[in-house]
Amino acid sequence: MTIFWCGAEDIDFRANNQSLTISSSHFDDQFSRCAIYMSASMTSEVWIKFTETPITDYLWVGFKYDAGAILSSAASILALSLYNGNTPIHLRTGPSGSNTKMELVINDTVCGITATTVLSQDCKIDVEVLNFSSEYEGTVKVYVDAIEVISYTGILGNAIDTGLCCLRFRSTSTNFIWYFSQVIVADEDTRLLSVKTLAPNAAGDTNQWSGAYTDIDETTLDISDAIRTQEADKLFTTNLTGLPTGKWATRAVKVVAASSPAKDGLGLQVGIKTNDEVHLGDSVIPTFEYDNPIYKMFQINPATSEPFTMAEIEALQIAIKSVEVS
């Protein structure tokens, strides 16, 4: 099982210098600190690239959806798109003027409509894609709160899109406001998966940078409130908030940071400190401000080569290191 991508906060969706609006409501506060707000605007859009190698065999996308204000009777108000170069798979609401039904559109053809009301103010939407191809039949299924509501089998791909690598959320109406959070892209069933934000909440074991964890704990990014260094080989760690109440299995840990370049030749590595070991990702040269957040995904605990335990997650620290780059 692989988690290709996950995200729940401002920083996760900042790629390509997108301008976001963050909401302090319309999300599950056991897991998230905010939701992404899709305004009543035809131009409100957020997209991410979840893999460099387009996926053709098996893919799941899951996210939390919350309806906002209905300004008038609207059509096509929520839109989720999976694509590569073109936009072959859309999920949208609004068929027959209903704000609570959904339709599946593949290559500009409506391939399935929910017969009854399925969307509520707070629900989980999951999309399953099997065999994305321009030659052979594949299947797309849509689930709301784990219940199948649409199923379509047929040709999914086209001559332009040879696989799926991008995900887009957008508003397609000026009459409706909606919100999303806890986005997961994986190669297995996402219906029971959630994204939990672990935010900086206390000093870690090492701080060789100027600043403190309080400079990087904001929900909406503020580049003026940051930790800093102009020297290589400097490590910064911070403790994190913990898991929700209950018993949880952790499928992956993602660390993400936004950075501006301090000087030529200075790069950044992000990772974790676990079991008294620091594990970092590849060296990356930061670009300006928010336009390309740096992240590292851990599918298992690198210190043990086993899945993360709850105790390891509770003790986890973020690690950030400055490095020389050529």
User: Cα(37)–Cα(70) distance, rounded to whole angstroms?
Assistant: 14
User: Cα(241)–Cα(309) distance, rounded to whole angstroms?
Assistant: 15
Most confident range (mean pLDDT) of 11-25, 164-178, 246-260 is 246-260
User: Cα(256)–Cα(302) distance, rounded to whole angstroms?
Assistant: 17
User: Cα(30)–Cα(101) distance, rounded to whole angstroms?
Assistant: 28
CATH class, domain 3-186, is mainly beta
Phi, psi of 226 (to 5 degrees): -155, 165
User: Cα(238)–Cα(217) distance, rounded to whole angstroms?
Assistant: 10
User: Cα(57)–Cα(2) distance, rounded to whole angstroms?
Assistant: 13
73 or 202, which is more confident: 202
Look at residue 184 in the predicted model and tell me its pLDDT: 97
Q: Where are the alpha helices (DSSP H) in the chain?
A: 310-314
Tell me the average pLDDT across 94-121: 79
Q: CA 1: distance to chain centroid? A: 17
Least confident of 155-164, 211-220, 224-233: 155-164
User: Cα(130)–Cα(191) distance, rounded to whole angstroms?
Assistant: 16
Q: By 3-state DSSP, what share of the chain in percent is helix, strand and coil, each rounded to 5?
A: 5, 45, 50
pLDDT score of 97 more than 80:
no
289 or 301, which is more confident: 301
Q: What angle do CA 193, 199, 205 make, to 5 degrees?
A: 120
Helices (H) and strands (E) in the chain, counts: 1, 21
pLDDT score of 272 more than 90:
yes
Inter-residue contact 9 to 197 (CB < 8 Å): yes
Most confident range (mean pLDDT) of 62-66, 260-264, 271-275 is 271-275
pLDDT score of 72 more than 80:
no
Token pair, residue 184, equals 């997961």
Most confident range (mean pLDDT) of 18-32, 64-78, 275-289, 302-316 is 302-316
Residue 121's contacts (CB-CB under 8 Å, 6 or more residues apart) are 66, 67
Confidence grade of residue 299 (pLDDT, cut at 50, 70, 90):
very high
The domains of the chain are located at 3-186, 200-324
Inter-residue contact 221 to 293 (CB < 8 Å): no
Bridge partners for 171 per DSSP: 78
Confidence grade of residue 2 (pLDDT, cut at 50, 70, 90):
very high
Tell me the average pLDDT across 145-157: 93
Confidence grade of residue 98 (pLDDT, cut at 50, 70, 90):
low
Under DSSP, the state recorded for 313 is H
Residue pointed to by tokens 């103010």: 121
Question: pLDDT over 70 for what percent of the chain?
Answer: 91
pTM of the model: 0.92
Amino acid at 306: E
What SS3 class is residue 10?
helix
